[in-house]
Structure 1
Amino acid sequence: MERTTATPATPTGALWFLRVAVLLHLAAILWEGATAGQLVTFNTEALPLHYYGAFGVHTAAALQVLAAVLYWRGSGLGPGPARTVLLVSLLAFGLGFPQATLGTYGPLQVHVPLALVLTGTAVWATVLAWRRN
């Protein structure tokens, strides 16, 4: 009788792309938090850094969605962890725009809490991308 042992699946190129993308997205959000901290201490020199950092957040979020789509397609387009990370990535991408708009045109009392929701959503996507399936 032949004995077989299960070996863990090797991450695909699409999964590695997703893992890098979620880390870039988190790094961009961390940058925004750091520059926001400078703004609340009235360091106005941080304003352009914070403003242009938002473009980095949107770009990284779009890259994350692209990577999540590729990962989901490679996983068979069905329900499961790949679809979940895609949906969470889409949520993070979508949250970024009203969050940034409120920073420019709205009250900071909404901008800051929404930034925390966006951060939590990005962390959620990161956990999904890096957990063992």
Structure 2
Amino acid sequence: MDTTHSSATALWALRAAALLHLTVLLWEGATAGQLVTFNEDALPLHFYGAFGVHVAAAAQVAAAWWVWRGAGRGPEAPRTVLAVSLVAFALGFGQAAMGSYGPLQAHVPVALVLTGLVAWAAVLSWSRGLRSLPVGD
């Protein structure tokens, strides 16, 4: 297998997953905005959108792991994007639980933290540290 092609594919998979994750978080924010204006028709859209957040987060973690593994498991940038992706994945479940069963006063600020983490991962996916990765297996 061509390892250069594999590394480039992994990096593009990470970029796509991070952008998808940001997109579904934007969807969640838009539907949440509808909920605060008492548009109850948005509730199922927001509820099922949370599942999209979890799927996109899992895809981002898988792609970050693929990049990290292909980089020889050593360089700082792949390790950082994997760590940020894992934290965002875990935080997404806690954030969703707060929306369903916990205080909404915490649900919204945690959503902002989650969005910031995913944006950080997206920025890292285009960083010089990942563009200049050594070719691994």
TM-score (norm 2): 0.88
Specify the alignment match of 2:111 in structure 1: 115
| Structure 1 residue 64, shift from structure 2 partner | 0.2
Give the unaligned 5+ runs of structure 2: 130-137
Letter in 1 for 2:47: Y
Q: What's 2:135 paired with?
A: none
% of aligned pairs identical? 67
- Greater helix fraction, Structure 1 or Structure 2: 2
Q: Distance in 1 between matches of 2:101 and 2:75?
A: 38
**Aligned counterparts, 1:1-133, within 5 A:** 12-133=8-129
What CA distance in whole angstroms lies between the structure 2 residues aligned with 1:43 and 1:131? 40
Provide the C-alpha distance between the structure 2 equivalents of 1:123 and 1:63, rounded to a whole number of angstroms: 15
Task: Give CA-to-partner distance per residue, 1:82-123, whole Å, 9 cap, x none.
Answer: 111000000100100010000000111010010011011111
SS of the counterpart of 1:77?
coil
Separation in structure 2 between the aligned mates of residue 132 and residue 35 of structure 1, nearest angstrom: 35
Q: What amino acid is aligned across from residue 33 of structure 1 in structure 2?
A: G
How far did 1:80 drift?
1.3
Larger RCO, structure (CA 8 Å, separation 6 or more): 2
Asked which structure has the greater CA Rg, the reply is: 1
Rounded to whole Å, the distance in 1 between the matches of 2:128 and 2:53 is: 26
**Post-superposition shift, 1:79?**
3.6
Q: Secondary structure at the match of 2:128?
A: coil
Number of residue equivalences = 125
C-alpha separation in 2, matches of 1:94 and 1:72: 19
**RMSD after superposition:** 1.4
When structure 1 is superposed on structure 2, of 76-85 and 31-40 the one drifting more is 76-85
Moved beyond 2 Å, runs of 4+: none
1:12 match: secondary structure: helix
Amino acid at match of 2:73: L
